[in-house]
Structure 1
């Protein structure tokens, strides 16, 4: 199996200040570009942590071969 890289970012902001979330660019060594879909989770710390764990589990469910 190939060596993989998981690209992600985290930042906490006041929920009422977030107007929108877009894609983040990723530059590849071969000169191509990729995009990473950004996600927004809102709630208390506990709610955000639970949603993040569920999201990570769901992400890896899409790739059972890894």
Structure 2
């Protein structure tokens, strides 16, 4: 399997300040675009960390060939 790139971003903001979250655009060498779905995790530090761990595990479950 070819080398892969995991594209992600994180930022903590006050929960009551976030109105909406869109998707991120990734430009590929081919000239095409790929889109990254953004996810929102809310709670205190421990809850966010636990949700993030579960999310990462679930993400890789979609790619069993890796």
> Which TM-score bucket, shorter chain as reference?
over 0.9
Per-residue deviation at 1:30? 1.1
Q: Distance in 1 between matches of 2:62 and 2:35?
A: 18
Per the alignment, in what secondary structure is the counterpart of residue 34 of structure 1? strand
Mapped pair 1:47 → 2:50: no
Q: Aligned-pair RMSD on alpha carbons?
A: 0.4
Aligned residues: 66
Gaps of 5+ in 2: none
The TM-score with structure 1 as length reference comes to: 0.98
The TM-score with structure 2 as length reference comes to: 0.98
Gaps of 5+ in 1: none
Per the alignment, in what secondary structure is the counterpart of residue 4 of structure 1? coil
| Aligned residue in 1 for 2:62 | 62
Deviating beyond 6 angstroms after TM superposition, the runs of 4 or more aligned structure 1 residues are none
